[in-house]
Amino acid sequence: MVRSSLTRTTRNTRTPWRCHGVRAVLGTLVLLAATSVTACTTDNGEPAPIPTQEAALDGLTCEAQKTKEPCTDIEVDGRIWRYAYLPATQKTSDTVVLDFGGPGHSVLSGEVGLSAFLTAFPALQSRYNIVVPEEPWVTQAVSTECQDAQSRYYLAAREASATVDTVAKDMASRCGLADSSQRWGFDAPTYQKLIETINARHGLTLKGFIGHSWGSVRLTYLDAPKLDWAILVRPFPVGTDQATLIAERAVALADLQAGIRPVSPTAVAGRSLPVMAFDQYSAVVDLGYINDQSFDEISPHVLDGTDTVQIGRLSDGLWMRYGRDSISPGSLAQLQETCASAGEVPALPTEVTSVTDILRLRQAPCHAMPATPVKPEFAPSMCVVTSPRDTVTPGKLVRSTYADTSTRVRFVESTQRSHSSFAGLDECLTEYTDPATP
């Protein structure tokens, strides 16, 4: 959900090739190689700004703003939208929408690993055309007023200040979240119309959907029953409210939290802010996204507080912080979609002493945003990958969401801990990419 690379190390939302700020999306899809834990930084050691958001402007075409992944653009209702259109290796109109979730990912920037995904699962493109939509925040200009409000919210959250609710609401107002006047993330009308317009342009017939994490919510934006099939990998449990989700995630994180030895505020060379309890608990939450090998190497030093550099990096990843105190506009997309789906958080904390406090503070702006809850959608045939070790979308919630239905749903259980992992997808794909399957 809220934010994988082939061998992702420190989560850079919701990338080994991510410069710290937005996590990647192919996680431990396949363990092609072991990677060290690194993050891109500026000369003074602060997380580097993400290239895709440095110069984000309204309506940029693929020609105007080059991307690392294949890019096509299309105008819908007066706005330019970007997407990857990847034709099948043999001529067909049959098409799959591939959604890496997030929200807060830029799939065309290279951070998500789209090309690596296609290399890992060649059978998919051998049978289907693939459409991958880019989130709107990537080409949405961010006002200075909004940027400053994001920074104030982050700094208030760090202190669990008595003003954090007021500051979060102010940010929601100044960034167009409170009244939905700015479109940072998708909603059902924009997503559905974008996909329909893309299909009409290329003469495509939508057959399937593959969604990771928040992709389960994006499936509800489409007319799922008209699809042939859908695959959801570690899906967000659609229909779950904030209170339930936070409570279940806290249970999943309980063993890690029990091992924490809280750090005292510690200065870190090259970092403008000290590493403190806020960062340590944030880092523990963020551990849920890194690959399993990196988790084994990193987690002991995060829990005992001895690696303050890594604690700071993980904390920045969770909060999408870059530069000095700047927050990625991808965070606005995350809030816009998650708050709409899951609603308000319970009462905000007055100090940070647990992972629950972090999870609540991260969604504080939801208090000022309209909620439009959705129910899970089901294609006629579905395969759902889950893991009992996932601390982001707990397996218990996923199974309860997708098990009680007359639709044919097959569960594949992964042993991987990392929420960013795509392990298990290959087993699901076999059923839908086998040439013998009608």
128: CATH: 3.40.50.1820
Is the domain of 174 the same as that of 282?
Answer: yes
279: pLDDT strictly greater than 70:
yes
pLDDT at res. 65: 86
Contact between 12 and 38 under an 8 Å Cβ cutoff? The reply is no
Residues 217, 339, single domain; the answer is: no
Residues 270 and 400 both lie in one domain: no
**Contact (CB, 8 A) for 210 and 316:** no
Residue 26, domain member (yes or no): no
Average pLDDT over residues 358-362: 98
- Asked if residues 87 and 129 have their Cβ atoms less than 8 Å apart, the reply is yes
Q: Say if residue 333 is in the same domain as residue 360.
A: yes
pTM of the model: 0.89
Domain count, the chain: 2
235 and 250 share a domain? no
Instruction: Examine the fold and report which residue of 347, 368, 389 is the final residue of a domain before the chain moves on.
Output: 368
Task: Determine contact, residues 226/381, Cβ cutoff 8 Å.
Answer: no
Q: Is residue 45 part of a domain?
A: no
**368, 391, 418: which is the final residue of a domain?**
368
Confidence label for 402 from pLDDT (cuts 50, 70 and 90) = very high
Helix (H, G, I), strand (E, B) or coil at 13: coil
* Same-domain pairing of 236 and 132: yes
Residue 230 belongs to a domain: yes
Can you list the positions of beta strands (E) in 23-152? 72-76, 79-86, 94-99, 129-133
11 domain residue, yes or no: no
| pLDDT value of residue 325 | 87
Amino acid at 123: A
Contacts of residue 258, defined as CB under 8 A and 6 or more positions apart, other chains included, come to none
Please indicate whether residue 319 or residue 112 has the higher confidence score (pLDDT): 319
Among candidate residues 189, 229, 234, the one with its CA nearest the CA of residue 209: 229
Same domain (yes/no): 221, 77: yes
What does the pLDDT look like over 304-330, one tens digit per residue? 999 999 999 999 999 999 988 899 999
Separation of alpha carbons 95 and 90, rounded Å = 12
Residue numbers of the domain that contains 259:
145-180+243-368
Contact 292, 283 (CB under 8 A): no
| Cα 24 to Cα 10: distance, rounded to the nearest angstrom | 10
Helix axes 308-319, 355-362, angle to 10 degrees: 30
The structure tokens 């110069």 sit at 55
The Cα angle at residue 364 between residues 362 and 366, in degrees rounded to 5: 115
Is the residue at 221 inside a domain?
A: yes
Q: Mean pLDDT over residues 21-25, rounded?
A: 36
CA-wise closest residue to 221 among 244, 238, 204: 238
251 & 283 share domain: yes
